[in-house]
Amino acid sequence: MSPTLTLFTRAIVSAVALLLRESDVEPLLDMDRVMAAVEAATHELGEGIAQNQPRRRVFPPGGILNVMFAFSPAAGFSGLKAYSVGGGKVRFIVVLFDLAGATQALIEADLMGAYRTGAATGVAIRALAPPGARTVAIIGTGHQARTQAMAVTRALDVEELRVYGRDPDRRRRFAEQVEADWGRAAVVADSAEAAVTGADVVVAMTNSAEPVFQARWVRPGALVCGCGSNMPNRAEVPPELVRSADVIVADQVEAAQLESGDLIRAGVDWTRVVGLGEVLAGKAPGRTDPAQTVLFESHGLAIWDVAAAATVLEAARRQGAGEEIPLFV
């Protein structure tokens, strides 16, 4: 049988896709598996054997439609994520296709997106944190920040985890969530300055349009992860830190050039910015000295969605979760 006919036959056989709703996805997510998948996919991107297209947006009246797509050999899928913003809601869906082009899964992807974003920060921390890092500050108290904390405590042997958000009640409740996930007490900081000062790793996960801390609070040699800004008109990292950082790593330089408000608003010299995949693949330097202050800029890549979705689909098939639906028959 010819290769073309084989692919066509496989597509016919695979005419049933698995529909996974948010309630199906939550028990299937495992941060360790997602981190491993995200790391493998990002490494492939750095090697040049995976493909990732940055997010594209259109702006219908009263909302935003976002679409991003990628191919990961390690995951064994290509896929896309689409999400709409409007009417006070955000709705996420990831679609996975096998290598014959057949639709394998449609996955509601709000929580899964939070996991893959946290996982990517964990991967970056393993690669870029100063040696012996033990103290971590997290600025932001939303559900995205929670998965940042989950990944951080897997990437490092954390001794002190400080949390800060503007609302005292929310930061107290957030600290309680982190403690439940981590199994140890988190420190509730009374100010961003108290959280950031002296920390080995600083993670910002907010939707702020303006910087949420000051560069002078960051100790020399720290790793700063800016994870909440993925539009040119938002910047949660101070421009002074962008300009003074010894090393700047983005999840993907092409994506950063389109939507990193932190870097764009600081007027960054793009020749200074390298991709995390290239660092993991040994094609670009990351941290080369414990004294270097390193900035990691995360915007969210479709290849992470594909990688995370592959782990969820595998678990769903193993556990018999979800609903099979016929497509294109």
Rg (CA), the chain: 20
> 243-282 b/e with 16+ CB inside 10 Å = b?
eebebbbbbbbebbbbbbbbbbbbebeeeebbbbbbbbbe
Q: How many helices (H) and strands (E) does the chain have?
A: 12, 15
- pLDDT number for residue 8: 41
pLDDT, position 141? 95
Please, what is the Cα angle at 303 between 241 and 31, to 5 degrees? 80
For range 247-264, the mean pLDDT: 97
The neighbour count for residue 305, using CB atoms within 10 Å, is 31
Quote the CA–CA distance of 225 and 152 in Å, as a whole number.
Answer: 11
Average pLDDT over residues 239-265: 97
CA angle 68, 325, 10 (to 5 degrees): 75
Domains (range + CATH), the chain: 3-113+303-316 (3.30.1780.10), 114-300 (3.40.50.720)
* Range 292-317 average pLDDT: 98
Alpha-carbon span 123 to 227, nearest angstrom? 13
154-203: pLDDT as tens digits = 999 999 999 999 999 999 999 999 999 999 999 999 999 999 999 999 99
Whole-number pLDDT of residue 2: 43
The residue written with tokens 């609302």 in the block is: 167
Q: What percent of the chain has pLDDT over 90?
A: 93
1, pLDDT greater than 90: no
| Average pLDDT across the chain, whole number | 94
Neighbours of 62 (CB within 10 A): 8
Question: Residue 329 — very low, low, confident or very high, per pLDDT cuts 50/70/90?
Answer: low
